[in-house]
Amino acid sequence: MTTHESSNLIYSTAHLDLKSKEIRLVEILPADEATVISCRFHTQTLQKPAPYTALSYTWGDTNNMKQILLDGEVFKVRDNLWQFLHQIREQGRRDRFWIDAICINQENVEERNHQVALMKDIYSKAILVAVWLGPAAANSGLAIKRLKSIAQGKDVSADWTQYDGRALELLCNRDYWLRIWIVQEFVLAQELTLHCGSDSLSWHILAFPFVHHTELFDKSPAARVCDRELQESMAAVIIHQRIRKETEVTSPPLTELIQTHERMESTDVRDKVYGLLGLAKDIGLPEIHITADYSKSALEIYWDFVDDCREQHGRLCGMCAFFARSLHRTLELPRCTAPILKRGLYLVNWTEHNGVFLAEYF
């Protein structure tokens, strides 16, 4: 049986109506430690959803795949997800989870398009978003303990050590913070809880040293070094994006989001754009027509944007040109191939912008 046939068999027991806002949820069934992890599918609509938890995590590599049972059928997941499922089962939790690697048939392009278009609703309507930072490491418990002490108002600067700073730095630079999808998952959540092994904390506790860093870390050299490293960490970018959403009325445009998160990573390069659509204020407006469509190549996504600019402005305006350059890098497209240059110069009707031609933007 091929992978495609196997996927269709597993997902046929929980078929989705792609004309509605229907999603699958997964329940982790209780069992003892030695038993294979077993999960059960449920389906529901996002129009009036029953309470569920959405998982925000990083997929990880494919070197260590593990088997679980999904509605009685063997299903393979990556090690990082397996670690989360194992942790939840150990805690005896019976939440219903939305987990993209399980709840979306990744072999079905039409279904992927449908579910990715619902991501904004999925994460904003979840009663809780669980952030899985990964299994505990030797120093992760110390980092979380220190964060909780800071949030409780304790003066930690007097006994702050280089080891404390290193523990926090490692926690805030875990692979999780590099994944493009976590930006909207983290920002859109009503409530957020972060999990690292068996330890957990609310996002407000993690955010505390980023918001109040001056008064917290200005009393000792070791603390000041930690402050600088935290402000430069990948977690800082996401946390400040979340704070901005809570304090500002409008969301940033797609152009700004892509430029801000250009360093983020994804298994599929197209997700560097699709993973931010749920946050952009201009999606659905006449200016931007980009929608998640996995039948399109990265180059086609790029030209969708360029053509939108051409239709709106009759040419590639200055701001569009600068964003086009960023988008070109984000989608990891080749430099100045003949078709790109030809389309850029002729189809966009680019004349000149401050004496600089389009060719120089790539």
Mean pLDDT value across residues 262-281: 85
Q: At what angle do helices 203-211 and 140-151 cross, to 10 degrees?
A: 70
**45 and 99 in a common domain:** yes
**77 and 180 in a common domain:** no
Please report whether residue 109 resides in a domain.
yes
Report the alpha-carbon distance of residue 226 to residue 247 in Å, rounded: 26
Residue 66, Cβ neighbours under 10 Å: how many? Answer: 16
Between 150-164, 200-214, 339-353, the lowest mean confidence (pLDDT) is in 339-353
**121 and 80 in a common domain:** yes
Please report whether residue 265 resides in a domain.
no
**324 and 287 in a common domain:** yes
Please report whether residue 89 resides in a domain.
yes
Question: 0.75 exceeded by the pTM?
Answer: yes
Please report whether residue 184 resides in a domain.
yes
- Tell which of 99, 126, 153 closes a domain: 126
Q: In the numeric block, which tokens belong to residue 129? A: 């978003």
Question: Which one is predicted more confidently, 325 or 139?
Answer: 139
**117 and 170 in a common domain:** no
Report the alpha-carbon distance of residue 140 to residue 115 in Å, rounded: 34
323 pLDDT band (50/70/90 cuts)? low
The phi and psi torsions of 54 (rounded to 5 degrees) equal -100, 135
Give the mean pLDDT of the chain. 81
C-alpha angle 68-72-77 in degrees, rounded to nearest 5: 20
Q: Which residues make Cβ contacts (< 8 Å) with residue 203, sequence separation at least 6?
A: 131, 186, 189, 192, 193, 194, 239, 242
**67 and 50 in a common domain:** yes
pLDDT over 80 (residue 314)? no
**121 and 195 in a common domain:** no
Q: Which residues make Cβ contacts (< 8 Å) with residue 199, sequence separation at least 6?
A: 136, 140, 141, 144
**106 and 16 in a common domain:** yes
- Tell which of 220, 247, 274 closes a domain: 247
Please report whether residue 266 resides in a domain.
no
**201 and 176 in a common domain:** yes
Report the alpha-carbon distance of residue 193 to residue 201 in Å, rounded: 6
- Tell which of 92, 110, 126 closes a domain: 126
Residue 339, Cβ neighbours under 10 Å: how many? Answer: 9
**64 and 49 in a common domain:** yes
Q: At what angle do helices 162-171 and 140-151 cross, to 10 degrees?
A: 100
Report the alpha-carbon distance of residue 177 to residue 17 in Å, rounded: 33
Q: What is the pLDDT of residues 168-204, one digit of tens each?
A: 888 988 999 999 999 999 999 999 999 999 999 999 8
pLDDT over 80 (residue 160)? no
Task: Quote the radius of gyration of the chain (alpha carbons, Å).
Answer: 22
Please report whether residue 87 resides in a domain.
yes
Please report whether residue 264 resides in a domain.
no
| Total domain count, the chain | 3
In the chain, the N- to C-terminal Cα span, in Å, equals 45
Please report whether residue 118 resides in a domain.
yes
Give me the residues paired with residue 266 across strands.
none
361 pLDDT band (50/70/90 cuts)? very low
262 pLDDT band (50/70/90 cuts)? confident
**Single-letter residue type at 184:** Q
Is residue 188 within 8 A of residue 279, CB to CB? The reply is yes
What is the predicted pLDDT for the residue at 200?
A: 94
- Domain span at residue 155? 133-247
pLDDT over 60 (residue 166)? yes
**118 and 11 in a common domain:** yes
